[in-house]
Amino acid sequence: MMSEIQALVSKGYLDKSVPKHLNLIDEINKLKKEKNAVILAHYYQVDEIQDISDYLGDSLYLAKMAEKVDADMIVFAGVHFMAETAKIINPSKKVVLPDLKAGCSLADSCPPDQFAAFKVQYPDAIVVSYINCSAEIKAMTDIVCTSSNAVDVINSIPKDQPIIFAPDKNLGRYLISQTGRDLILWEGSCIVHEAFSFDKIVALSRKHPEAKFIAHPESDSQVLDFAHYIGSTSGLLGFIETDDAQEYIVATEAGILYEMQKRAPHKTFIPAPVNDDTCACSECAFMKLNTLEKLYLCMKYELPEIQLDDSLMSKARASIQRMLSLG
């Protein structure tokens, strides 16, 4: 096992063979009962992981569930910052992630040392950070937000209070347009949401004149300006359920289309085109690192485990709790 642990450090997951005859769905469900474990999964996970999860949702919902779950082990089928958030909220619980290399381009765009130097330049500002950031950034943050509650978080702050918003510049610009606040923006972004091609979206909309174009606020401003509706992951799902259109062009990570089709099976959902036709750029490669095999192994061996310094968790927890207290 020691050699496998060493391999885990370099590969990010337990590189053990899984018998081909094994019914992974059955085995994972057995492990949930045996270990009093729950699986929290994001909408951007592969279909089979979404289906086997106990709680499926966006970042805000999963943060709330991480706070409430009565389990000995939280298995987070998402990316690293999400599993960190679950551990920060529930430090006494074991939190495992199928693949430690399941990172986030947006979180990576805000290195803690550089952000600390940036923050010093604005001593009177408070920091609002999008939840898509590292534990170290959360520890330097006054209040965390998600795309679901970001407008409410900004509006909860006195109008004369300067605000640094990090790490997503596109979400920050959207918040400026929605709140009228003059935010100090960190210049980070998500490679998936920046990959959408405005020109191709316009051309596709002409081919589908009855389709509504809906977008996540991490997208570029030009893309957002063209959208019929802008919303968080849960917001987009709610919109397609209640709206009367029958066809939608969707600008966010393509994993959400699976849940959209389940909620509105009679409707058509088209992934928004990207600039590079040679890649599946509307899919988050980090999210797709998690597989059923890795999920099974991480539950069976309770590895890789998320471990964070107590002092770091305490500082980061305060910013998350301020968000959760807003409801």
**pLDDT value of residue 103:** 96
CATH number of 106-190: 3.40.50.10800
pLDDT confidence bin for 327, thresholds 50/70/90: confident
Of 52, 78, 73, the C-alpha closest to 63 is 78
Supply the DSSP string of 141-203, one letter for each residue: -SEEE-TTTHHHHHHTS-TTS-EEEESBHHHHHHHHHHH----EE--B--HHHH-B-HHHHHH
Of 318, 321, 327, the C-alpha closest to 140 is 318
Q: Give the pLDDT confidence of 241-266 residue by residue, as tens digits.
A: 999 999 999 999 999 999 999 999 99
Chain position carrying tokens 């999964």:
41
Structure tokens at 41: 């999964």
- If you average pLDDT over every residue of the chain, what do you get? 95
**pLDDT value of residue 282:** 84
Q: In the CATH hierarchy, which top-level class contains the domain 2-103+286-310? A: alpha beta
| Same fold yes or no, 106-190 and 196-271 | yes
**pLDDT value of residue 94:** 97
Q: Give the pLDDT confidence of 130-174 residue by residue, as tens digits.
A: 999 999 999 999 999 999 999 999 999 999 999 999 999 999 999
The domain 196-271 is classified under which CATH number: 3.10.420.10, 3.90.1150.10, 3.40.50.300, 3.40.50.10800? Answer: 3.40.50.10800
CB atoms within 10 A of CB 84: 25
Listed by start position, the domains of the chain span 2-103+286-310, 106-190, 196-271
Answer for the pair 291, 202: CB distance below 8 angstroms, yes or no.
Answer: no
Give strand pairing partners of 77: 41
Backbone angles phi, psi at 264, to 5 degrees: -135, 70
Structure tokens at 145: 């937000």
End-to-end distance of the chain based on CA atoms, in angstroms? 44
Residues 44, 105: Cα–Cα separation, whole Å: 14
Residues 295, 76: Cα–Cα separation, whole Å: 9
Radius of gyration of the chain (CA): 20
**pLDDT value of residue 4:** 61
Structure tokens at 152: 């409410």
Mean pLDDT of 222-228: 98
The whole-model pTM stands at: 0.94
The DSSP symbol for 102 reads -
